[in-house]
Amino acid sequence: MLTTLASSQHKNGRLLLRGWRLIYTLSRQTAIQESSTKASVLLAFKLAKASKPFSEGEFLKECMVETSELLCPESKGKFETISLSRRTVTRRVELLDEDIVSELNKKAESFKLYSLALDESNDIKDPAQLLIFIRGINDSLEITEELLSMESLKGKTRGEDLYEQVSAVIERMKLPWSKLVSVTTDGSPNLTGKNVGLLKRIQDKVKEENPDQDVIFLHCIIHQESLCKSVLQLNHVVDPVVKLVNFIRARGLNHHQFITFLEETDVDHQDLLYHSRVRWLSLGKVCQRVWELKEEIRSFLEQMGKSDEFPELSDTDWLCDFAFAVDILSHMNER
């Protein structure tokens, strides 16, 4: 009987030991998985912040695993558990976005007053983008300033269209119109139109909510530097550049052949940029890209038999003016 009891106690001791080992293993695995998830979120945030393609996460992981083999082989398995596939990075960034919006919503609920800053411009792929910034203040005089939203304007960009976008964002963020005290714009007609512009519509909406509230409209002068164009008389430079870009990019066959040509020549840039005539920044970037690809463009036009249509590329005086314009525009954009 004593032998049986001792055997039973020994068996229970082994079971208990196995149980503790299992608990320790599971807790350790849980800790590793938690750390791996945190690392995945952190790296996804870094990729998004640096405007890198989400697919680069897999390449980043490959680099970390191979580096760990050299520096800390015992930790290689931990790096292999970090999930950085394109879909995973996308989900992580979406979660981060939801968290940022949630935090901004919480802060917005305590705003006593807030103001907006609006800027409408074209990106390098040509669709118009409306940037909406917000600055709010609460009872404790704490000021919050954030990018509220970036809305793509795929159709028209009339004052009515811009107002619908702004109104949708205001409603989505549950911001009361009655607390809006100021709006800053860059002064373009579709924003400041007297009768149907965006600002007129915003003023009417605020008056509906609070008849005693007058919105203060401010004008941002950042784009006024573009007045230098008329003083510098750059038309003889800008017009041929815009004509050249449109010749290559506006025609599908030419555009495809040009991209193929650049790939074959192994240059740093793989395409030209479009120019929005009303934007100084856009003009500077386009001229800079054409200048950097001028030799490749000249060779491409000769290959296409179209070099006679753009004699400026072989004109030394024009090229000197072009170089001067590129330098001036780059300097102004850096300010």
Evaluate if pTM is beyond 0.85: no
The pLDDT assigned to 114 comes to 93
Torsion of CA 300, 255, 130, 166, to 10 degrees: 170
Tokens read off for 71: 């520096």
| Cα 243 to Cα 170: distance, rounded to the nearest angstrom | 40
The pLDDT assigned to 275 comes to 42
Task: Please compute the mean of the pLDDT values over residues 201-215 and round it to a whole number.
Answer: 85
The pLDDT assigned to 133 comes to 92
pLDDT for residue 5 is more than 60: no
pLDDT for residue 262 is more than 70: no
Q: How does pLDDT run across 89-136, given as a tens digit for each residue?
A: 899 899 988 888 888 888 888 899 999 998 876 655 556 788 899 999
Cβ(258)–Cβ(248) under 8 Å? Answer: yes
The pLDDT assigned to 269 comes to 43
| Cα 33 to Cα 23: distance, rounded to the nearest angstrom | 15
pLDDT-based confidence at residue 2 (cuts at 50, 70, 90): very low
| Cα 298 to Cα 307: distance, rounded to the nearest angstrom | 7
- The three state secondary structure string of the chain is CHHHHHHHHHHHHHHHHHHHHHHHHHHHHHHHHHHHHHHHHHHHHHHHHCCCCCCHHHHHHHHHHHHHHHHCHHHHHHHHCCCCCHHHHHHHHHHHHHHHHHHHHHHHHCCCEEEEEEEEEECCCCCEEEEEEEEEECCCCCEEEEEEEEEEECCCCCHHHHHHHHHHHHHHCCCCHHHEEEEEECCCHHHHCCCCCHHHHHHHHHHHHCCCCCCEEEECCHHHHHHHHHHHCCHHHHHHHHHHHHHHHCCHHHHHHHHHHHHHHCCCCCCCCCCCCCCHHHHHHHHHHHHHCHHHHHHHHHHHCCHHHCHHHHCHHHHHHHHHHHHHHHHHHHC
